[in-house]
Structure 1
């Protein structure tokens, strides 16, 4: 659905950009990538790429420029706090060649939250917004994120990021939802691989993936089919089910 509520068949793509030394060092375990990917899949946005970059301005700038040019949207998390190493806002301004300063809208939000007497220099850093950016509402801790071009810059703290993501996705067009179905097979991938390959050739518009697992002490496989066309998905599922049935009755 689009922001206006009208359905669209357009494929909308996105990337996730995670910024922070703490993620790369393992000190902080990322909880945002999976959430954003699942959330976007549910509303019709295809996540095509994930990048994690350190708190180095040149690397952030390079990643933003590359991802922004390649996808419809970029969801960025991390690096918009009050400390010296929160450099995301400056990097975003540099990536798009615009100035950055204290945004009166953001200053007003923070003043209302902290009170003018408590709005110190560190907190004012969170009001520095690149020129021309739209603010992203933050109902949790008030310091806003921002959208510049097609890049949505959100906090790294999961509960804040999730609230910001709600605000962002309410305003942007989304595409046709990807549908999925899982067919379980009580056999290993080796027995089913050739047949699945043949089915994939017959259904180029259906993504077919196999995922091995252990079941009751033996090998089993989940076959996951994905398509935007419900009829083609159902046809693919039937083909896979027929393959499994034939393998179960065939001599080994």
Structure 2
């Protein structure tokens, strides 16, 4: 990637993900969408609902990346502690957010805006709201930390409301070439030479296995679309030189 591209880190917060109880669907969505707006996702960490861990991890990554996204832990139950941990990481009071409080108070019937639901309107002082078109309760941003819901549909809605405000770089282009019957050991040397020829690109090799045999998919990614196309051409030439029949795109499932 070029220096023009800001970078992102994602913290997936939740014991249920670490235990295997919940399959995370947010990483793939955010990686793709962030790439489309020119903010490559450079690191993902999955951490538990433990106050000390969340605060320490936030304070480690937020100086290293232009954007830090969190998913999970902003609901109404006792283990939803992400919001108060963000406040702790920034040394800010955790208090009712006037606008979020007013929205939720209007949304619920009289008497239903109970202490548990009030937690969803309690945020670090000065937080900027992230709209939630699905279930009202908003996410929020503090400096370069963007706090999103863990439920995929709600997280996606929050991200789409946030995306226009994010300053990205050139979109990340990607080209894949695959070939059946090719093993990584045969292409390693040639692929290393292609990577050396295009040092600003990410070039990866991904073997696949399926009924009837396997092969390898080779992917070039970067913010220079012309360089990505040229690298994909070099990959195709390499595969043909090995006697295979390369096909543009990912292999069929």
Structures share a fold, TM > 0.5? Answer: yes
Give the deviation of 1:19 after TM superposition: 1.1
1:82 is aligned to 2:82: no
1:221 is aligned to 2:203: no
1:203 is aligned to 2:187: no
Q: Tell me if structure 2 keeps the 8 A contact 1:9–1:176.
A: no
Give the deviation of 1:215 after TM superposition: 6.0
The 5 A counterparts of 1:49-64 are: 49-64=43-58
- What is residue 94 of structure 1 aligned with on the other side? 88
1:245 is aligned to 2:240: yes
Q: Tell me if structure 1 keeps the 8 A contact 2:133–2:157.
A: yes
Range 115-124 or range 154-163, more displaced: 115-124
- Structure 2 CA distance, aligned partners of 1:172 and 1:239? 34
Range 217-226 or range 40-49, more displaced: 217-226
Root-mean-square deviation (Å): 1.8
Structure 1 ranges of 4+ moved more than 6 A = none
Q: Which runs of 5+ in 2 are unaligned?
A: 245-253
- Structure 2 CA distance, aligned partners of 1:231 and 1:144? 40
For residues 46-101 of structure 1, the C-alpha deviation after alignment (integer angstroms, 9 at most, x for no partner) is 10111111111110001111111110111111111111111111111010011111
- Structure 1 CA distance, aligned partners of 2:74 and 2:46? 15
Give the deviation of 1:33 after TM superposition: 1.4
Give the deviation of 1:140 after TM superposition: 1.0
Match 2:189 to one of 188, 194, 208: 194
SS for the counterpart of 1:170 is helix
The 5 A counterparts of 1:106-121 are: 106-121=100-115
Report the TM-score when normalising by structure 1: 0.90
1:39 is aligned to 2:33: yes
- What is residue 5 of structure 2 aligned with on the other side? 11
- What is residue 132 of structure 2 aligned with on the other side? 138
Q: Which runs of 5+ in 1 are unaligned?
A: 1-7
Report the TM-score when normalising by structure 2: 0.90
- Structure 1 CA distance, aligned partners of 2:92 and 2:195? 47
| Aligned residues between the structures | 242
Range 206-215 or range 168-177, more displaced: 206-215
Give the deviation of 1:214 after TM superposition: 3.2
Range 204-213 or range 96-105, more displaced: 204-213
- Structure 1 CA distance, aligned partners of 2:233 and 2:97? 57
Q: Tell me if structure 2 keeps the 8 A contact 1:90–1:130.
A: yes
